[in-house]
Amino acid sequence: MDDCISLERQKQKTRQNLDFLRTETVFEYDTSRYPFRDLVKEVLLQDTDSSADLDIEKLHFLPFEEDSIANTCPALYRARLHNGVIKKATRTESKRMRKRWKSSTERKRVVDTYVKFVAEVIAPMFEVSCEAIKNADRNEAMEPFSDSAENGLRSGVVYQTEPILRCSFPSKHVHSKNHIDADYHHQEEELNFWLPLTDVHDSNTLFVESKPGLGDYHPLCMHYGQVCRFWGNQCRHYTIPNSTPLTRVSLDFRVMHAVLFERDKARDTKCSANLMQLGAYYTHMDFSKNT
């Protein structure tokens, strides 16, 4: 019983201390240490004859062959399919595309850099809040901060195993309708991190409300080397048709404090083809593993 009380108090204090992280914030990161644009460019241009100096903002000019769908990066395939300039892949082509993508060395370099980014930049935000709870417990001379949790995770973060790569070509079509991530069975404690790899503004960016239900939608005007953190689970967000002459390329992912991860809730929910469980859509990272 005492363990239960301690755990519930731990969750409550964690939520309180992490509440400030739900406020929409844009911050900078070191692109020399985390060169996402260069790495993603290698992914997008792999197995093409295009010049290495092609700007990713001009990806919509990249030539393609209808019979090479299986060799296409999934993000490029989705962008072309969305714009109606390519046919829908057959089941066989889709399987080949996924298999090739999973075994891609270019993709692995992106994911490896992403994991380092989560460990060194994102997880410490949650760790500081965790330390604040421990210190408060000591100062208040109350029951100690529990090192156990009903989900089996004692500390650290639960993060999206692989970031989502998105390309938005100039288009008359909407790529993302107005929604909250809870509509797609994401857990409420998740925070969203959005990294544009191109300059974004006007119609080629994401529109977000600052607080749940406020409806004060505004475009995120950002450049490469910036990250926007926001509470996408409860704050509505969407895109509009990209009427600019430039392609938008971005990465996005979700992270939550490990003690707040609800293992039971994740058991029967899916996102695309992945079960939203640890070892699939989610991965656990302990604070002690940060380097």
Q: Which residue has the tokens 């019979």?
A: 67
d(CA 40, CA 33): 14
**pLDDT score for 140:** 43
Assigned domain for 258 exists? yes
Assigned domain for 102 exists? no
Q: How many domains does the chain have?
A: 1
**pLDDT score for 128:** 67
Task: Specify the 3-state DSSP secondary structure of 226.
Answer: strand
Print pLDDT tens along the chain (291 aa): 445 557 778 788 888 888 899 999 999 999 999 999 999 999 998 766 655 678 999 999 888 776 677 778 899 989 998 888 888 888 888 889 889 899 999 999 999 999 999 999 999 999 865 555 455 444 443 333 334 445 556 689 999 999 999 999 999 989 899 999 999 989 999 999 999 999 999 999 999 999 999 999 999 999 999 999 999 999 999 999 999 999 999 999 999 999 899 877 655 565 666 688 899 999 999 986 554
Assigned domain for 88 exists? no
Residue of 206, 217, 219, 203 whose CA lies nearest to 171: 203
For residue 173, the tally of other CB atoms under 10 A from its CB is 12
C-alpha separations of 38 from 35, 54, 82, 186, 249 in Å = 6, 11, 25, 30, 12
Assigned domain for 83 exists? no
Assigned domain for 84 exists? no
**pLDDT score for 137:** 47
* pTM for this entry: 0.88
Assigned domain for 42 exists? no
Write the CATH number for 132: 2.60.120
Assigned domain for 281 exists? yes
Question: What is the domain extent for residue 276?
Answer: 2-36+108-289
